[in-house]
């Protein structure tokens, strides 16, 4: 009778725990080649939670096979993300950049700006800055950030002088000419001129075939073309990209710029952050760390990035 019960427990491990463990581990390891558009890359870190039901099943049935099956997703998750759990010794940054989608319904502009400035940034990029709220943002930034550029609903405030300020056309082909969510400026820093891009890519919307990212991907390709043609060697891109850096739709951009692999600096949604879709990327500069800042009146959390030459 004992043998029968033990065999039953192990059969449940084979038929339930093992397939779940293999499926979760396979999705993490093979995600670049799997279908799923933006959905799988966005929630990739959360696949580690698949270990919990397997462990619960192992405890309930006292199944050694189920317990062993939990090692598949656990090992895959640690291989992808385990390095981010170990605090790194970071040198002092040369530049600090803050990125925030402030929300066009933000009720507390002064408080939002105070939160962003607590990071002591050199650059502050904002999205969803409405014409009605713009005077309040201009009034909230102190004199140390007198250099700023605004085009459409994106804006940049800087400690350093800005030159060559201009709108950046990343408008998808299906949107009208009044859609303006990009700018480029040159920051005259103590380390030389740096091209700074501030962008807000289109949102990803649910569609009949899953998540519809066509407009975002079109905008990302246009952004990548501008970055590829950028004459300055040093570039910083700040923006709400509506994508994680592992999203294949962002590959035209991420193939040109890099960032710190801080996968857990989740910025959206602010109430329960599940993904970082706000990004700071750079070329010929190293983004050494990315972290979130306290919440504001927005549905996004701000992020702060340290950069080194």
The domain spanning residue 239 has which CATH number? 3.60.10.10
Provide CB contacts within 8 A for 292, sequence distance 6+: 265, 266, 267, 273, 301, 302, 303, 304
195 found inside a domain: yes
Same domain, 76 and 124: no
pLDDT of residue 36: 57
243 inside domain: yes
Q: Are residues 153 and 61 in the same domain?
A: no
Banded pLDDT at 13 (limits 50, 70, 90): low
Measured between alpha carbons, how far is 134 from 83 in angstroms, rounded to an integer? 41
Choose the final residue of a domain: 85, 115, 135: 85
In a domain, 29, yes or no: yes
d(CA 246, CA 293): 22
**Into how many domains does the chain fold?**
2
pTM: 0.82
Question: CB-based burial of residue 130 (10 Å sphere; 0-12 exposed, 13-18 middle, 19+ buried)?
Answer: middle
Q: Are 229 and 184 in contact (CB under 8 A)?
A: no
The string of pLDDT tens digits covering residues 151-188 is 999 999 999 999 999 999 999 999 999 999 999 999 99
With 0-12 / 13-18 / 19 or more C-beta atoms within 10 angstroms meaning exposed / middle / buried, residue 287 is buried
Helix (H, G, I), strand (E, B) or coil at 10: helix
Residues 6+ apart with CB under 8 A from 148: 138, 141, 155, 156, 157, 158, 162
> 241 in a domain, yes or no?
yes
Question: Which residues are CB-contacts of 203 (< 8 A; sequence separation ≥ 6)?
Answer: 216, 242
Identify the burial level of 209 via C-beta atoms within 10 angstroms of its C-beta, where 0-12 means exposed, 13-18 middle and 19 or more buried: exposed
Identify the pLDDT of residue 62.
Answer: 77
Residues 33 and 126 in one domain: no
Same domain, yes or no: 137 and 27: no
Euclidean distance between CA atoms 245 and 265, whole angstroms: 12
Same domain, 187 and 245: yes
Instruction: For residues 292 and 160, state if they share a domain.
Output: yes
| Domain identity same for 58 and 149 | no
Considering the chain, what percentage of its residues have pLDDT values greater than 70? 87
**50 inside domain:** yes
Give the pLDDT score at 270. Answer: 97
Q: Residue 76: helix, strand or coil by DSSP? A: helix
The DSSP code for 133 is: T
At which of 85, 109, 142 does a domain end? Answer: 85
The band of 93, judged by pLDDT with boundaries at 50, 70 and 90, is very high
53 and 108 belong to one structural domain = no
pLDDT attached to residue 2: 45
Is residue 171 located within the same domain as residue 32? no
Beta-carbon-side half-sphere exposure of residue 269 (alpha carbons within 13 Å): 3
Q: What is the pLDDT of residue 47?
A: 78
Q: Check whether 70 has a pLDDT greater than 80.
A: yes
Q: Is residue 69 situated within a structural domain?
A: yes
In a domain, 127, yes or no: yes
If you search the block for the tokens 């009778």, which residue do you land on? 1
Taking CA atoms, 11 is separated from 15, 62, 127, 151, in Å, by 6, 12, 54, 63
* Domain stops at, among 56, 85, 114: 85
263 in the same domain as 129: yes
More confident residue, 33 or 303: 303
pLDDT at 212: 87
Tell me if 90 is assigned to some domain: no
Residue 157 and residue 266 in one domain = yes
User: Of all helices (H) and strands (E), which one includes residue 124?
Assistant: strand 123-127
Whole-angstrom distance, CA of residue 152 vs CA of residue 129: 8
Say yes or no: 106 and 56 in one domain: no
Q: What are 110-155's pLDDT values in tens digits?
A: 999 999 999 999 999 999 999 999 999 999 999 999 999 999 999 9
pLDDT of residue 216: 97
CB 287 within 8 A of CB 260: yes
Give the structural domain span for 121.
95-308
Residue pair 295/271 in contact (Cβ under 8 Å)? The answer is no
List for the chain the helix, strand, coil content (%; round to 5).
35, 25, 35
- 207-223 average pLDDT score: 86
Handedness of CA 158, 160, 165, 167 (dihedral sign): negative
| pLDDT for residue 7 is more than 70 | no
pLDDT averaged over every residue in the chain? 88
Amino acid 34: pLDDT: 66
Worst-scoring range by mean pLDDT, 73-77, 193-197, 199-203?
A: 73-77
Q: Which of 215-219, 249-253, 258-262 has the lowest mean pLDDT?
A: 258-262
Find the DSSP H helices in the chain: 2-12, 18-29, 39-42, 51-61, 64-69, 71-81, 109-117, 134-140, 214-228, 251-254
């Amino acid at each position: 009778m004992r043998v029968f019960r033990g065999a039953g427990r192990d059969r449940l491990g084979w038929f339930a725990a093992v397939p779940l463990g293999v499926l979760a581990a396979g999705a993490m390891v093979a995600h670049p080649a799997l279908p799923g558009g933006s959905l799988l890359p966005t929630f990739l870190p959360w696949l580690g939670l698949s270990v919990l039901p397997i462990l619960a099943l192992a405890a309930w049935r006292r199944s050694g096979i189920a317990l062993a099956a939990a090692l598949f997703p656990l090992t895959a998750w640690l291989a992808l993300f385990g390095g981010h759990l170990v605090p790194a010794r970071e040198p002092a940054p040369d530049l600090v950049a803050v990125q925030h989608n402030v929300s066009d319904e933000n009720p507390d502009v002064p408080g939002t700006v105070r939160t962003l400035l607590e990071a002591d940034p050199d650059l502050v990029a904002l999205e969803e800055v409405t014409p009605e709220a713009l005077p309040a943002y201009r009034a909230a930034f102190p004199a140390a950030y007198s250099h700023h550029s605004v085009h459409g609903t994106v804006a940049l405030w800087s400690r350093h002088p800005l030159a060559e300020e201009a709108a950046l056309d990343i408008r998808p082909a299906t949107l009208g000419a009044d859609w303006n969510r990009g700018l480029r400026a040159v920051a005259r820093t103590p380390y030389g001129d740096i091209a700074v891009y501030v962008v807000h890519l289109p949102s990803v919307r649910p569609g009949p075939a899953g998540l519809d990212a066509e407009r975002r991907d079109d905008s990302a390709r246009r952004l990548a073309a501008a970055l590829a043609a950028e004459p300055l060697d040093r570039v910083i891109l700040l923006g709400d990209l509506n994508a994680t850096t592992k999203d294949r739709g962002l590959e035209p951009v991420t193939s040109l710029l890099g960032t710190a692999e801080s996968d857990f600096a989740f910025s959206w949604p602010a109430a329960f952050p599940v993904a970082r879709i706000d990004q700071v990327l750079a070329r010929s500069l190293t983004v050494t760390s990315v972290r979130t800042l306290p919440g504001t009146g927005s549905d996004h959390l701000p992020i702060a990035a340290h950069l080194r030459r």
